[in-house]
Structure 1
Amino acid sequence: PHLSVEENLYLGAYSRSDRDEIAADLEWVYSLFPRLRERSWQKGGTLSGGEQQMLAVGRALMSRPDLLMLDEPSLGLAPLLVREIFEIIRRINAEGKTVLLVEQNAFAALSVAHYAYILEVGRVVLEGSGRELLENPKVKEAYLGG
């Protein structure tokens, strides 16, 4: 929380030594999260909840992971920010990153999922493509309010 946004992002690339590619990845993260560029000098701990979530994802991306694991990225965020975060998740995946997402917002998660599992009390009760599960009557009734 005491490091600037940019210092936080560089921290994500700590184990890397490819300076030119680190700079390119920093620009990519800033293209995903323009607010982070605007606040690059600001201390991470002073950002809003949504901005801190963006910073955490950006920092993780700076390490160039093969798999990005996200646990409840929409937790506590305003609906507008939830839409923005899920659009960014979709974009990250479209740019070649595998994303494993754990999320209680069923509609948002299934809207971006290629494949999904629905758990109840720790057991898989349904699985299939995100689209199939969005159309499933049991899912609609139990999780989507339909």
Structure 2
Amino acid sequence: MLTAARLTIPVEGVSCVDLRDSFNECRGMHRHEGIDIAAPFGTPVIAAGAGQVVKLFDSVPGGLTVYQFDPDETFAYYYAHLDAYASGLREGVKLERGDLLGYVGTTGNAAGGMPHLHFAIFRLEPDREWWKGEAINPYPFLDDANR
């Protein structure tokens, strides 16, 4: 359960008062299905919770991305628009909450070149494919008191 996961805000120095729920906003023809966390270029991006890195991917919409499964492989955490990955980050690495993943950037289709982290959560389907699942709004599950 996500509440029990004690997720932390995945951008260093950002607190709950800095967050805005943009999960249901429209982005073109589809729902955003994540939140954007604004931060200066190069700000460290940290793991929201424990789990394993299952995919590092460079895509047109997300730019440099990280897909991380929670320990039970029920949920995937998606981090997008990174400027760079943390040194030594690779697929298969097990992370603890707060471990460094990379740095805030503007890769992919980051609107207007404004540095931010796009963070999303989705419930994995039974086949546990890293790119498929039901979008879950991360906003109510993030807490800055868990660092």
TM over 0.5: no
Structure with the larger RCO, 1 or 2 (CA within 8 Å, 6+ apart): 2
Q: TM-score, normalised by structure 1?
A: 0.23
More strand by share: 2
Larger Rg: 1
